[in-house]
């Protein structure tokens, strides 16, 4: 496919997801630029930040006319966001691109491309789908727990990622981590269950913002994670693992 067509398709996909989910397009666009076009990590982040401006303005116009924008809240959030962006934009340039790519890896963070090869060799099909779920659970869930924001969902994400790592990757190696066993992933899995059941503490964004998701959210999300992991294991086991050359 022509490179310009790929770029337009990526923009369309990111714009649709941003409009539907109300999220910054970078979470979708950066991995696509790095993986599909081979864009250098820092360059991909710069393109993503510039991309946000026209997409945000186009969506804001419609929402504002529909009276769905709270200007006071938006302005207060923007003050904090501007300072946060300035700090992170200056800090991130000192982080090696190889380390930044690890944010899109899984089960050890080898980087998106290498992680795709790993998932494919494990029998996951399509590999990009299962790797994306792993990134969402491991990285997204980890950030959620670290910030104490939407804690039950973050706990369920980490639970799902560690459940897959435990039973698909590490179980065959026994318990102890020195031999590649499931000791560490099981520990994180148990910690995620604890936070899912106990909920966020007083020093969390959930407490600060008054977010109080019921226990049922974690239980339901964890059940969905169990089903997804079970399907993933069945799919990967039914496909012959790729041979390493």
- The pLDDT of 186-200, averaged and rounded, is 89
pTM score of the predicted model:
0.55
Question: Which has the higher per-residue pLDDT, 13 or 136?
Answer: 136
For the chain, give every domain's residue range: 3-103, 113-238
Q: pLDDT at position 26, please?
A: 57
- The pLDDT of 152-171, averaged and rounded, is 89
pLDDT band for position 220 (cuts 50, 70, 90): very high
8-17, 99-108, 167-176, 210-219: the lowest-pLDDT one: 99-108
Instruction: Report percent pLDDT > 70 for the chain.
Output: 61
Highest mean pLDDT among 32-36, 45-49, 110-114, 138-142: 138-142
- 3-state SS string for the chain: CCHHHHHHHHHHHHHHHHHHHCCCCHHHHHHHHHHHCCCCHHHHHHHHHHHHHHHHHHHHHHHHHCCCCCHHHHHHHHHHHHHHHHHHHHHHCCCCHHHHHHHHCCCCCCCHHHHHHHHHHCCCCCHHHHHHHHHHHHHHHHHHHHHCCCHHHHHHHHHHHHHHHHHHHHHHHCCCHHHCCCHHHHHHHHHHHHHHHHCCCCCCHHHHHCCCCCHHHHHHHHHHHHHHHHHHHHHHHHCCCCCCC
Q: pLDDT at position 96, please?
A: 47
Question: Which has the higher per-residue pLDDT, 12 or 192?
Answer: 192
pLDDT band for position 107 (cuts 50, 70, 90): very low
Instruction: Report percent pLDDT > 90 for the chain.
Output: 10
**pLDDT averaged over every residue in the chain:** 74
39-43, 156-160, 195-199: the lowest-pLDDT one: 39-43
């Amino acid at each position: 496919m022509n490179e310009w067509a790929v770029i337009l398709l990526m923009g369309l996909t990111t714009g649709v997801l941003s409009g539907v989910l109300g999220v910054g397009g970078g979470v979708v666009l950066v991995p696509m630029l790095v993986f599909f076009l081979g864009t250098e990590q820092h360059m991909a982040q710069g393109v993503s930040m510039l991309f946000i401006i026209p997409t945000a303005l186009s969506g804001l116009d419609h929402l504002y006319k529909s009276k769905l924008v709270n200007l006071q809240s938006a302005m207060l959030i923007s003050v904090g966001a501007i300072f946060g962006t300035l700090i992170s934009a200056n800090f991130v340039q000192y982080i090696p691109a190889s380390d930044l790519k690890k944010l899109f890896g899984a089960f050890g963070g080898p980087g998106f491309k290498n992680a795709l090869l790993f998932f494919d060799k494990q029998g996951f099909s399509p590999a990009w789908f299962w790797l994306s779920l792993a990134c969402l659970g491991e990285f997204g869930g980890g950030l959620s727990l670290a910030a104490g924001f939407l804690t039950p969902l973050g706990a369920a994400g980490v639970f799902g990622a560690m459940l897959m790592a435990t039973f698909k990757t590490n179980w065959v190696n026994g318990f102890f981590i020195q031999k590649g066993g499931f000791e560490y992933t099981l520990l994180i899995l148990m910690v995620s269950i604890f936070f899912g059941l106990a909920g966020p503490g007083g020093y969390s964004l959930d407490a600060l913002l008054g977010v109080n998701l019921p226990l049922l959210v974690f239980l339901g999300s964890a059940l969905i994670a169990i089903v997804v992991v079970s399907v993933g294991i069945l799919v990967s086991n039914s496909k012959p693992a790729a041979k390493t050359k």
